[in-house]
């Protein structure tokens, strides 16, 4: 028997177990679409898990090459460092505002009483205001450093303006005036 290299031949012999390729000359996408249509006709796509529910499109356009790491953090209940820092800044600002509001409320209550406050109450309130004001100013400075760190590490859409410490301190003094002794 003579050896013939069929790879170089223009015609290839068809054996009994080979059928002619009915997809020859068609685009791959046409083949895929036909397979999907056939599966739909058979009913393979009925009663799929999550059918009728909204898609979870968790694509982060800013993640870039870090997207896998971010998705792992998110699935385990963590967030990227930038998001955690932004959340921490917001929480500290809310805490400062709550502390200022409580002190302001206490001062209003002392002023509204039918009997004037005792000198010891006035001193205690004034001391509390001075301590809170010093802590407030110190915390605002720390928050400005955190905001700068956030702005250097986060995308532009997450940037925050720096806090105007002088203005916020004067607002604190207006909201919590000292009682005359």
Listed by start position, the domains of the chain span 81-175
Q: Is the pLDDT of residue 18 over 80?
A: no
Confidence tier at 138 by pLDDT (50, 70, 90): very high
pTM tops 0.85: no
Q: What is the mean pLDDT of residues 143-159?
A: 93
What integer is the mean pLDDT of 139-150? 96
Asked if residue 129 lies in contact with residue 122, where contact means CB atoms within 8 angstroms, the answer is no
Query: What mean pLDDT do residues 140-151 have?
Result: 96
pLDDT for residue 27: 81
State percent of the chain over pLDDT 90.
51
Check if the beta carbon of residue 89 is closer than 8 Å to that of residue 147: yes
Q: Which of 100, 111, 131, 103 is nearest to 179 (CA)?
A: 111
Helical residues (DSSP H) of the chain, grouped into ranges: 28-42, 67-75, 81-112, 119-153, 165-175
Distance CA 39, CA 170 (A): 70
What proportion of the chain, given as a percentage, has pLDDT over 70? Answer: 85
Tokens in use for 114? 């039918």
């Amino acid at each position: 028997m003579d050896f013939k290299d069929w790879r170089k031949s223009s015609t290839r012999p068809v054996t009994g177990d080979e059928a002619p390729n009915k997809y020859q000359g068609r685009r791959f996408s046409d083949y895929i679409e036909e397979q999907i249509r056939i599966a739909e006709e058979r009913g393979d796509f009925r009663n799929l898990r999550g059918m009728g529910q909204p898609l979870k499109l968790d694509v982060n356009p800013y993640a870039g090459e870090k997207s896998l790491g971010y998705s792992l953090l998110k699935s385990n209940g963590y967030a990227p460092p930038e998001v955690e820092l932004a959340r921490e800044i917001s929480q500290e600002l809310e805490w400062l505002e709550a502390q200022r509001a409580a002190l302001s409320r206490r001062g209003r209550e002392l002023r509204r009483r039918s009997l004037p406050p005792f000198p010891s109450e006035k001193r205690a309130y004034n001391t509390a205001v001075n301590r809170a004001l010093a802590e407030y100013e110190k915390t605002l400075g720390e928050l400005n450093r955190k905001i700068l760190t956030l702005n250097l590490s986060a995308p532009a859409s997450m940037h925050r303006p720096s806090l105007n410490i002088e203005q916020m301190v004067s607002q604190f003094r207006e909201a919590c005036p000292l009682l005359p002794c």
